Amino acid sequence: DTVPIPNPKGWPLVGNITDVDAEVPIASLQNLAKTYGEVFSLTLFGKKRIFISSQKLMEEICNEKRFGKLVSAALGELRNGIHDGLFTAQNDEENWGLAHRILVPAFGPLNITGMFDDMKDIASQLVLKWARYGADYVIPTTDDFTRLTLDTLALCAMNYRFNSFYSEEMHPFISSMVSFLKLGGDRSRRAAFMAPFYRADDAQFFSDIEYMRTLSQEIIDKRIEHPEDTKDLLNAMLYGKDPRTGKSLSQGTIIDNLITFLIAGHETSSGALSFLFYYLVKNPEAYRKAQAEVDKVIGTESIQVHALQKLPYITACLRETLRLQPTAPAFSTTPLSPQGEVIGGKYFVEHGQPIAALLSQIHLDPTVYGSDAEEFKPERMLDEAFKRLPPGAWKPFGNGARGCIGFPFAWQEIMMVTAMLLQYFDFAPQDQSYNLQIKSTLTIKPKDFFMRATLREGWT
C-alpha cells in the first residue's frame, strides 16, 4: 500500500514556485525538508518534482539497478550548448558510454599525478599574487579561487592558459561560460509562454554557446596541426579509442566535453576551497591542527605529490567541508522501470519522475551525524569514522557510474592548494563578525567572504 508524498499546497498556474526562493533555491528546499520530512514533492512549471533528504532514502535511490540519472531543469537547458557530453547525457545515450570509457583512464590516478606540476604552476601564481599584495590586501576569496581552478583545468585539460591572474577582466571564454550558465538557469525557471519577453536573453545565450564552441574548435585545430606529446584530456579524446567498440569521439563530442570539463571542473572546486578556508578561519583549533600537520609533514620544502597522502587531518577538513557545503548541492534520478518504484516502503514514484537528492540536507541527517550535525567537526571525518558511515550518508561527488569522473583531479588540486597556502600564509577573515551566506548558481559558494593573508616568518 502506498501513501501520497507530502506536498505543500500550491497555486493555480504557478504551482509551488512561490515556495522556492529564486536566489537561493537550496535554502528554501532545506527549509521545506525541515517542515515536511524526508520526502516531499513540489509542482514547478507544471512538472512534479520529488525531493529527498534522509540517508535511508538516499541509500535506496543510489541503487543503480533501480534508479538512474535524469537530466532536466537547469541541467537540461545546458544541453543546448553541450548536448550529450558526459555531464548532461541522459542515462541511455550512447555517447555517454563511449566518452566515459575513453576518458576513465585519462582521469585515473597515474594521469592525475602527472598533472601535479601544472597544478602547482597555477597555485604558485596565486601564492605570488597574495604575497605581493601584502597583508593589507582584502582577498576576494571566491574570485581568486575561481581564477585558480579555471586556469588549472584549462592547463591540465588542453594545455591552454587563461592567465586569469594577470588581468582584472576575465578571459572572454569565461564571461561567455558564466553567462551561459546563468541564462541556462533562468531559462529553466521560466514558463514557455514567457519566451517572447526574453528574446535578448535568448540571443545572448546562443551567442555564448557559439563563442565557446568556436574557441574550442580553434584549440582542437591547433592541436591537430601541432601535435603535443602530453597525456592531457584533449589528447585522450583526440586519439583515444573505445576498448569496447573501437570507436573514437567525433569533434563535436570533443567540444561538448572540453566545455563540460571547464564548467563541471571549476565552480565546484572553487566553492569547495572557499568554504574550506571559511571553516578554517572560523575554527581556530581546526586551523592550528591543519597548519601543524603541514609544518610537520612538508615543512618549508617544495610540496610533492606523495605528501598529499600524509595529511589525514586536512583530508578530514575537506570531507567535513563538503559534508556541510556540498558545492553541487543536489542531483536527480528517476526510476528505471517503466512500472515505477516504491521508495521508503510506501511512496510511489513514476518512471521519468525526477527525484532530487538534497545533498545539503542528507548530509545533516541526525540519525547519522547526531544533534551537532550542523557544526564543523573534522574529527568525525578521520579515516576510521569516515569508513564506518552508512551508504548514502556522504555523497558530494554523486553516485556510481554517473558520479564525478573528476574526483581524483579535484581532490589532488584542493589538497595541494590548501597545504601550500597554509605553508606560506597566516589567514584571517577580513571581518571577524562575518556570518556565512550562500551565493547560489548551478553550484553554491560563500557570498562576500573576504580574507587577509600574512606571509609567515621565513618567507620574507
**Site residues (vs ligand MNH, CB under 6 A):** 69, 86-87, 100, 153, 260-261, 264-265, 268-269, 272, 327-328, 331, 396-398, 402-406, 409-410
* Of residues 125 and 327, the one with the C-beta less far from ligand MNH: 327
* Residue 455 CB, nearest approach to ligand MNH (Å): 27
Residue 428 CB neighbours (<10 A): 15
Among residues 397, 425, 427, 449, the one annotated as catalytic is 397
* Residue 58 CB, nearest approach to ligand MNH (Å): 12
- Catalytic residue list contains 245: no
Query: Distance between CA atoms of 372 and 323, rounded to whole angstroms?
Result: 13
- Catalytic residue list contains 107: no
* Of residues 86 and 422, the one with the C-beta less far from ligand MNH: 86
Crossing angle between the packed helical segments 172-188 and 251-264, to the nearest 10 degrees? 90
* Residue 263 CB, nearest approach to ligand MNH (Å): 8
Query: Which residue's beta carbon is nearest to the bound ligand MNH?
Result: 406
- Catalytic residue list contains 214: no
Give CA angle at 162 (161, 166), nearest 5°: 110
Among residues 62, 156, 317, 404, the one annotated as catalytic is 404
* Of residues 67 and 287, the one with the C-beta less far from ligand MNH: 67
* Residue 115 CB, nearest approach to ligand MNH (Å): 10
Closest CA to 426 of 118, 121, 139, 119: 139
Query: Distance between CA atoms of 136 and 327, rounded to whole angstroms?
Result: 29
| Cβ proximity of 330 and 341 under 8 Å | no
* Residue 322 CB, nearest approach to ligand MNH (Å): 6
| Cβ proximity of 354 and 330 under 8 Å | no
- The three cell numbers of residue 95 are 555517447
Query: Distance between CA atoms of 202 and 389, rounded to whole angstroms?
Result: 45
* Residue 324 CB, nearest approach to ligand MNH (Å): 12
Q: Residue 276: enclosing H or E segment and its boundaries?
A: helix 267-282
Query: Distance between CA atoms of 426 and 287, rounded to whole angstroms?
Result: 10
Residue 266 backbone dihedrals phi, psi, to 5 degrees: -115, -45
* Of residues 99 and 286, the one with the C-beta less far from ligand MNH: 99
* Of residues 303 and 356, the one with the C-beta less far from ligand MNH: 356
Q: Is 284 exposed, middle or buried (0-12, 13-18, 19+ CB in 10 A)?
A: exposed
Among residues 268, 315, 334, 443, the one annotated as catalytic is 268
Query: Distance between CA atoms of 115 and 155, rounded to whole angstroms?
Result: 9
* Of residues 269 and 418, the one with the C-beta less far from ligand MNH: 269
Cell 620574507 belongs to which residue?
460
Query: Distance between CA atoms of 313 and 410, rounded to whole angstroms?
Result: 18
Q: Any idea which residues carry the catalytic annotation?
A: 268, 397, 404
